[in-house]
Structure 1
Amino acid sequence: MAGRPSRTRRVSSDSRSPTAYLIGDSIAGGYAAAVQAELAGEIAVEVRPENGEDSRHVLERLGAWLGERRYDAIHVNCGLHDLKRPHRSGEFQVPPAEYEANLRQIVARLNRHTARVIWGRTTPVIDGQPAAEKDFDRFNRDIAAYNQAADRVMAACGVAVNDLHQAVVEAGVANCVSADGVHMTEQGYAILSRRVAAAIRKAMTADRGGIA
């Protein structure tokens, strides 16, 4: 169903295959199974066992998710929860400056577990859709500031960037973003899963850094 993230699963890594790990929010949850299927028999893909939510939560939970394991690549995103504006305050859930600082710590932590961190840029939203049912707003205009903050961190740290935002824009936001204004349609998830699978494949051989 459009806009409903598919259930993620954690798989045991095949020691004969390269390994990758996916970290993200419900958007990642929606494309994870398709990425696993796309790379099956080629790269063993594991998925974080819970919604990554915002950058604070990712930073807090990385140790529990990764333990002492190492991976050939880790694809990570957070941002849509960070830029939420709760109605009670009107302020960002995680302000941009804190978000940027959190991402620096996240990358430093991930570098202990892989030589290939891949950052997925945050995808567009359609303004106003959650307002009737949620106690917060998201605004598409805020996404640029958060993506720019992430871009600065990834450039400074030499992390490859997977431009999921541009992939959705090029395919058409109306085609890719579901009626809830945040999650993807079937077409949107298909586009993102292909982009993520391709980025992981590329990371296995490409130099680090740059925007794909």
Structure 2
Amino acid sequence: MNKTIIRVGVLLILLTTVAAFQTKKKQVLIIGDSISNGYTPFVQQNLDGIAEVVHNPGNGKHTGNGLKHIKDWIGETDWDIIHFNWGLWDLCYRHPESQVQGQRDKVNGTITYSLEEYETNLDSLVRLIKKYSDAELIFVTTTYVPEEEAGRFSEDAQRYNAVAKKIMKAHGVAVNDIYAKSRRIHRKYGKGDDDVHYTEKGSEKLGKHISNYLKKQLK
């Protein structure tokens, strides 16, 4: 009888341990601007039961803002994956007298961070993220910029992405290249030829792509 009780007890412990292991969700931190704010809810839905997906508070804006807040965003959580991006804000031209939302003005304005400054800042950010976390890092490329956008030149998205890819290669960081996908999605589900943002359907499409990539990494 005692042996039977012991065996049952051991079996229950094993089953409890296995169940706890199976139900433990992975921890994913998404860092980015309003584009990522748009697709994150869909990523959370798609990864429900697989991972706990959290976005950094508010808008990640540009690399300068990232340098100020990255330590707080990472915090004390033991992240499994940090999926991050900066770019759209960095390559944006702004002018204090512009009446366009965000004071965007690519004719008379000043760029937020030049290509060289972006490269330096992004390199520093990767080093800091690695310092504060042991998570697997994934850089997601900057999304499509339509031609008529008031504060951004369309070709700059790919120029900044090229620099970002070079930095990620040097640091051994994976790249989730969504530029081409975002361009196709934007043409059908973008908010307009003068707006980098997406309709809800567009964000859902981006979220599906991001989710599929993360699922492969989480396995």
Q: Normalised by the shorter chain, which TM-score bucket?
A: 0.7 to 0.9
Mapped pair 1:61 → 2:81:
no
The alpha-carbon distance between structure 1 residues 94 and 71, as it changes in their structure 2 partners (threshold 3 A), is: same
| 1:45 Cα deviation from its structure 2 partner | 0.8
Pairing 1:150-169 to 2, within 5 Å after superposition: 150-169=164-183
Pairing 1:126-205 to 2, within 5 Å after superposition: 126-129=146-149, 131=150, 137-169=151-183, 171-179=184-192, 180-205=194-219
Secondary structure of the structure 2 residue equivalent to 1:22: strand
Partner of 1:35: 43
Provide the TM-score with structure 1 as the length reference. 0.80
Give aligned-pair identity as a percent: 34
Give unmatched runs, 5+ long, in structure 1.
Answer: 1-14, 132-136, 206-212
CA contact (8 A) 1:127 1:181 kept: no
Higher relative CO (Cα under 8 Å, sequence separation at least 6) belongs to 1
The AA in structure 1 aligned to 2:109 is: G
Partner of 1:118: 138
How far apart in 2 are the matches of 1:126 and 1:150? 20
How far apart in 1 are the matches of 2:218 and 2:171? 18
CA contact (8 A) 1:168 1:176 kept: no
Partner of 2:85: 77
CA contact (8 A) 1:85 1:93 kept: yes
Q: Which has the higher helix share?
A: 2
**Worse overlay, 81-90 or 39-48:** 81-90
| 1:77 Cα deviation from its structure 2 partner | 0.8
How far apart in 1 are the matches of 2:42 and 2:60? 18
CA contact (8 A) 2:40 2:55 kept: yes
Q: Specify which of 120, 141, 148 is matched with residue 101 of structure 1.
A: 120
Partner of 1:87: 95
| 1:172 Cα deviation from its structure 2 partner | 4.9
Q: Where has structure 1 moved over 6 Å in runs of 4 or more?
A: none
Partner of 2:55: 47
| 1:139 Cα deviation from its structure 2 partner | 1.2
How far apart in 2 are the matches of 1:47 and 1:172? 22
Provide the TM-score with structure 2 as the length reference. 0.78
Q: How many residues align?
A: 184
Give unmatched runs, 5+ long, in structure 2.
Answer: 1-22, 97-107
How far apart in 2 are the matches of 1:36 and 1:121? 20
The AA in structure 2 aligned to 1:17 is: K
| 1:38 Cα deviation from its structure 2 partner | 0.6
CA contact (8 A) 1:36 1:44 kept: yes
Alpha-carbon deviations, 1:4-58, whole Å to 9, x = none? xxxxxxxxxxx81111001000000000111111101111111111100001101
